Structure 1
Amino acid sequence: MAEQTVVSATETTAPTAPGETALWVERTGTRAYTGRSSRGAEVLIASQGVPGAFTPGELLKIALAGCSGLSADFPLSRKLGDSFDATIRVSGDADRENEVYPQLDEAFELDLSELDEEARERLLVTVQRAIDKVCTVGRTLKAGTKVTLSFDVDG
């Protein structure tokens, strides 16, 4: 499980490393935030049921599926061509008593009908290896990570 450490702003800060994309969220209303990146991307984050916004847990799941997709893209496009279709569905219920997702399940939807059984199996093994090797989000979730929190406050 991920470990969370709370530190004061005077103890340590986590500046963005040179070349790293800066990420932050800004409060836009009651239990509503906009996530932003220094590359100009935005995502709406709010409580469950707010139209047009993701919950933080949904973003976690989407990050996992997106990372798996990007990690698998090269071996899949090499075998299926650049215009292949893929959908990665991700699900997992939260354990509200402990506020964790004990399990997240991903399901790739791919049309591999043009490949024979042996070629399909080889491709899926290659895709699994690529995801296991380079999907940072999945690797982080599986390994757990230390999370620090600091406060930069006025007064």
Structure 2
Amino acid sequence: MELSRILQPEAVRVVNSLTSKKRLFQELGETAAAVYDLPQADVVDSLTDRESLGPTGVGQGIALPHARLSGLTEVKGVFLRIEKPLDFGAVDRQPVDLVFALLAPSGSGVDHLRALALVSRTLRDQGVCGKLRANTDPATLHAVLTEQPASEAA
């Protein structure tokens, strides 16, 4: 599994600031609707429902919200770089500025977990995160995320 198969260039955006986690999920829903032709409300509701189980802020300014949706046939991703970090309730209580949302088919098991592991490994790389934080061009951000060497999923 490669990030280039999960994340379309059009699904990478830079946003100036967001006022809340709810607004973040709306932005993710709008992007998923525009790029992957998914119902925006379903994306927002699914991400919100998953987040109610526990925060997906993994620390060091990174959040990995994820949800399962009916109507999807493969895992899809949306990446946002937030210029003004957002209080997300992350495990280390640090605000979030890098958000990689994964949307998986409702019946997916292993593929969803592999995609989550791949994204997690990619964003644990401090070099990658440094490049993401140093750039504001969506095409550059997409290239940084997808040009990483493919590694075996967990």
Q: What is the TM-score with the length of structure 2 in the denominator?
A: 0.28
Greater helix share, 1 or 2?
2
TM-score normalised by length of structure 1: 0.28
Higher-Rg structure is: 1
